[in-house]
Structure 1
């Protein structure tokens, strides 16, 4: 069966997720926070297993104008629900309404649920309440500017939950956000990579997964595993195919942190992810980094805001970074910060500045591209 699918992601990462999908062979259409593509059951499994930067993969069951609750009811009821859900399906309905005439999300949810119940009851000739005792089918109706999407979530827990992070420190980066930071750089698996403020190790681990071409979702479960219309062997097949594509390459990845306790936490997570042998974890103060290597890449998420109470301490770190990193001009540096005055304290204007959202927190990725080393 062919489906209209949509991958969702954090604001600012649409182009990264679209590039992932295009590299996988899909034609895409991008909107704010969404990338649309088409696929069958295997594509649902494949994208859930392989997408590094998305949050979810959903099936678009219907799209329609929603100017009234009658519009919602009639269009939702017209969906052939029995093609997707059995009689005993549990189908929680989430609702979102932004800049639309129908602004009451509880009412939108209620009308949607009522339409589904009526449709299912008629199809299955059921006159009593639907049992909802079977597998879960997470639904969402999303209305934006009076345009409604009826969506079925195939993912379950967000794709950032890879399953390897068994320990974490304060305010860790989500795994898919960390992967996006790496994918926004010019790093390749033959280049040195350095994460100077590694914390629980997420950036370095995601770099290692990318370098070794390891599918990020290979260890986790998904909502689609309970769907009647999904062939039961597909996930095993896609996992086996993904394992056959992993690369056994030597990576030059260094992850440092001043806190030895965090280094131990990062090692546990890297072990769970299967990449401990691909990363050198080292207790190392940011100021003590030295290298004679060239053409490397630094990706840093230094403490700031929620992770550091004292802004003066945060800005001292920024100044230390600028002073040290100017001594390695062939290295490219990508530094995430919520400090709007970062460039002033770092001591250099960024080559490029990209606005991203780490959850609800607006941050900027300050990019300093390295010059080519002399031959």
Structure 2
């Protein structure tokens, strides 16, 4: 099969991080747009992307794009795509999608047209008019943005943030892919020492360990495309074996996690065991007011609590003030704190050295990065353009 176009959506704000990850795959024609990175590759690259990419939400094969303002144009555009290269006559091919700022705005109608067009295409190729769809599932996705239709196949199945280690979570978990992006921005190394004083379900610590030890995030899970006929040559198994060989078992990475909630401590320990990195951590119950480290060099990555109701917001802001008091600003201690509170820097007591806008689910946040040692005054810090 010739080179195929692959699209990997990501959380807004992590495009540059994902692009750097994709470059490491050795693929060609990498393009970055809002919330998405695309590239040209082969089937092995599809497997590598699923198993190795830490900040991608999915890996999608792009069958084609075209303009459509009528249902007939939509039907003919879809029918022209080579579905038979991926879908056998016995396979299931459900369709889902969305439309935005387009003349074809009825998603159910578009869904029906796309399905009929695929059936027509496969009927002509396989010489049959009825498809039982009892075989493996090949999920078809379409998007219609400003009358441009893009048709894709989802190779991942469950979202790539589902690594397999976090079947249980606390009340407000940070998404694994977002945590991995923060870890990348913090420049974790194989000898890093990482703290999370609000460890919750352990996601930031676990993603830091996976990164430091060069453990592929998808190494222990399965993907929809593994059951497709075009991957019957054990492509995914081969990529997994290679990933196992690349784990840095000699890395000296260590992590410390604290939480005031004993249930969170237990949950972090459980998830770390599932991820296979529990021996890298020390987890304990501790209040943020008691946080301290004597280490000369360390990284503090954390997602402190925040509230939606007024009382909860006041409690969260009290915590931010405490953080500002106990987080020492000295050389070789770096802090990466994600929060939706626009007053965070004032409450924390110093302006961040850099900020990056990120989304935790649907909540707009800032990643506040402190790495220069001596604190700045928040007002002075805001006068500089540090937003990325």
TM more than 0.5:
yes
Is structure 2 residue 240 aligned with structure 1 residue 221? no
- CA deviations 1:228-248 (Å, max 9, x no partner) are 111341111111110100011
- Structure 2 segments unaligned to the other structure (5+ residues): 375-388
What is residue 89 of structure 1 aligned with on the other side? 91
Asked if 2 retains the 8 angstrom alpha-carbon contact of 1:44 and 1:57, the reply is: yes
Assess, with a 3 A threshold, how the Cα gap between structure 1 residues 14 and 309 changes in structure 2: closer, same or farther. Answer: farther
Q: Which moved more, 1:160-169 or 1:271-280?
A: 160-169
Asked if 2 retains the 8 angstrom alpha-carbon contact of 1:171 and 1:306, the reply is: no
How far residue 121 of structure 1 moved from its aligned partner, in angstroms, is 1.3
How far residue 120 of structure 1 moved from its aligned partner, in angstroms, is 1.1
Asked if 2 retains the 8 angstrom alpha-carbon contact of 1:197 and 1:302, the reply is: yes
What is residue 22 of structure 2 aligned with on the other side? 21
What is residue 234 of structure 2 aligned with on the other side? 233
How far residue 109 of structure 1 moved from its aligned partner, in angstroms, is 0.9
What is residue 384 of structure 2 aligned with on the other side? none
- CA deviations 1:317-340 (Å, max 9, x no partner) are 100111111354531111111111
Assess, with a 3 A threshold, how the Cα gap between structure 1 residues 115 and 290 changes in structure 2: closer, same or farther. Answer: same
Which secondary structure does the structure 2 equivalent of 1:48 belong to?
Answer: helix
What is residue 35 of structure 2 aligned with on the other side? 33
Corresponding residue pairs, total: 371
Asked if 2 retains the 8 angstrom alpha-carbon contact of 1:308 and 1:314, the reply is: no
CA distance in structure 2 between the aligned counterparts of 1:368 and 1:243, rounded to whole angstroms: 34
What is residue 193 of structure 2 aligned with on the other side? 192
What is residue 155 of structure 1 aligned with on the other side? 156
- CA deviations 1:103-125 (Å, max 9, x no partner) are 11111111111101111112222
Which secondary structure does the structure 2 equivalent of 1:247 belong to?
Answer: coil
How far residue 309 of structure 1 moved from its aligned partner, in angstroms, is 5.5
Asked if 2 retains the 8 angstrom alpha-carbon contact of 1:187 and 1:296, the reply is: no
Asked if 1 retains the 8 angstrom alpha-carbon contact of 2:330 and 2:373, the reply is: no
Which secondary structure does the structure 2 equivalent of 1:310 belong to?
Answer: helix
Is structure 2 residue 302 aligned with structure 1 residue 300? yes
Say which of 315, 330, 333 aligns to 2:332.
Answer: 330
CA distance in structure 2 between the aligned counterparts of 1:225 and 1:53, rounded to whole angstroms: 21
Asked if 1 retains the 8 angstrom alpha-carbon contact of 2:156 and 2:224, the reply is: yes
How far residue 186 of structure 1 moved from its aligned partner, in angstroms, is 3.1
Is structure 2 residue 11 aligned with structure 1 residue 10? yes
What is residue 360 of structure 2 aligned with on the other side? 358
What is residue 284 of structure 2 aligned with on the other side? 282
Q: Supply the RMSD in Å over aligned alpha carbons.
A: 1.6
Asked if 2 retains the 8 angstrom alpha-carbon contact of 1:166 and 1:268, the reply is: no
CA distance in structure 2 between the aligned counterparts of 1:156 and 1:306, rounded to whole angstroms: 32
TM-score by length of 1: 0.95
Asked if 1 retains the 8 angstrom alpha-carbon contact of 2:62 and 2:153, the reply is: yes
Asked if 2 retains the 8 angstrom alpha-carbon contact of 1:185 and 1:334, the reply is: yes
Asked if 1 retains the 8 angstrom alpha-carbon contact of 2:192 and 2:212, the reply is: no
CA distance in structure 2 between the aligned counterparts of 1:194 and 1:74, rounded to whole angstroms: 56
